[in-house]
Amino acid sequence: MRKLTIAEALREAIAEEMRRDEKVFCIGEDIGIEGGFGGAFTVTLGLSDEFGHERILDTPISELGTTGIAVGAALMGMRPIADLQYGDFIFLAMDQLINNATKLRYMSGGKLKVPMVMRIPVGASLRGAQHAQSVESYLVHAAGLKVVCPSTAYDAKGLLKTAVRDDNPVMVFEHKLLYGAKGRKEGMDARGEVPPEEYLIPFGVAKVVREGGDVTIVATLRMVYEAILAAEELKRASISVEIIDPRTLVPFDWETLFNSLKKTGRLVIVHEDNLTGGWGAEVAARVADEAIDLLDAPIKRVCSYDTPVPFSPPMENFWVPGRERIVKTVKELFSS
């Protein structure tokens, strides 16, 4: 079957949805300029050729305003896909997301809806403290947003299409190092098979990336690949790892997780967002509430440290959770 990068898969999802429904449009900085980049990561490259500049709408640099504009357009039945360029800029747009997008339906007594998508690139990639943050956890906490984190081209396409059709605000997180072809980092070939036929992936259905019986690792985005590398290494130490990629953080597929824990009794959560108050805490807390009896060991989290993202490669490498920290953490669970 043909292989696509995540960027290509997302582009295809957008194009298909725009063809299907004329209410769908894209809005963002540098997304459709002739001779430009197609967004910071080429996702919308070429789309204005087919859909024109009205539906691939380039904006000034005004994140708060454009987010509010997306909200307003969605209220009137449009289906905006807003491109945030870098997740770090979400802090400029949060008022419109949290005070309006999540609340206008509620405040209207259920009369309105806000069917908008925001695409949010995250992850450290040697760009320093303000173009590197993983910001999923803030939006997991903001009640009323759905949160999507695809780690493969197949998932990216199917989940983005579902996001566009969802009647609620949906935040789609995309990892910068996963967009392109392979080779940016060891073990991270996010290029994958994508069938030419249309398909959708429902929210709230986790994927068991790898089956195993000794320990469950929950990971998203780039961390799925680090977990796979760790699992290979742990296999050599005779530890069998089950890897779950929840794919959507809101809604979260608790059933798949709890079923896995029934087998393994051990849980390690891995995310690139920083430790304290990250979404891994929520996963741990739910398990410690609803499934604590399944546990044979403490719940571990392998996350980035509670610091800004450092620039220099040795520090960034250390900061981003990786195979070694995962291996070490898992092994500790078996040594005590």
Partner 1 sequence: MIKIPGEKLIWMYKTMLKIRHFEDKIHRLFLEGNMPGTIHLYQGQEAVAAGVCANLERSDVITSTHRPHGHALAKGVAIKSLMAELFARSTGCCGGKGGSMHVGDPDVGMIPAIAIVGGGIPVATGIALAFKFQKSKRVAVSFFGDGACNEGSFHESLNMGAIWNLPVIYVCENNLYGASTSIRVAVKIRDLAERASSYGIPGVVVDGNEAISVYQATSKAVERARGGQGPTLIECKTYRRGGHSRSDACNYRDKEEEKMWLTRDPVVILRERLTKDGILTPEDSKQMEKEIEEELTQAIHFAENSPWPKPEEALEQVWA
Ligand X SMILES: Cc1ncc(C[n+]2csc(CCOP(=O)(O)OP(=O)(O)O)c2C)c(N)n1
For partner 1, what does the binding mask look like between residues 53 and 92, x meaning CB under 8 A?
Answer: -x---xxxxxxxxxxxxxxxxxxxxx-x-------xx--x
From 1-9, 128-136, 157-165, 259-267, span contacting partner 1 (CB under 8 A): 128-136
Determine if residue 38 is left, alpha or beta; phi over 0 gives left, psi from -120 to 50 gives alpha, anything else beta: left
* 330 belongs to the binding site for a second copy (CB under 8 A): no
The whole-angstrom separation of Cα 44 and Cα 67 is 18
Q: Is the separation of the CB atoms in 19 and 161 below 8 Å?
A: no
Residues 176-235, interacting with a second copy (CB under 8 A): none
Nearer to partner 1, 80 or 192 (CB): 80
H helices of the chain, in order, are: 6-20, 47-55, 63-75, 90-94, 104-107, 136-141, 153-165, 222-236, 254-264, 279-290, 313-319, 323-335
Catalytic residue among 53, 131, 141, 175: 131
CB of 316 to partner 1, least distance (A): 8
CB of 11 to partner 1, least distance (A): 17
* 61 belongs to the binding site for ligand X (CB under 6 A): yes
* 143 belongs to the binding site for a second copy (CB under 8 A): yes
Annotation says 175 is catalytic: no
The whole-angstrom separation of Cα 220 and Cα 212 is 18
Residues 10-49, interacting with ligand X (CB under 6 A): 29
Can you tell me which of 20, 235, 307, 328 binds a second copy, judged by CB under 8 A? 307
Nearer to partner 1, 220 or 274 (CB): 274
CA distances from 258 to 255, 282, 287, 334 (A): 5, 14, 8, 20
CA distances from 162 to 157, 221, 248, 259 (A): 9, 18, 11, 25
Selection from partner 1, ligand X, a second copy, none that 290 binds (CB < 5 to 8 A by kind) is a second copy
The whole-angstrom separation of Cα 233 and Cα 324 is 9
Show the tokens assigned to 213.
Answer: 């019986």
Can you tell me which of 67, 85, 125, 259 binds ligand X, judged by CB under 6 A? 85
Can you tell me which of 15, 64, 78, 205 binds a second copy, judged by CB under 8 A? 64
* 295 belongs to the binding site for ligand X (CB under 6 A): no
Q: Is the separation of the CB atoms in 327 and 234 below 8 Å?
A: yes
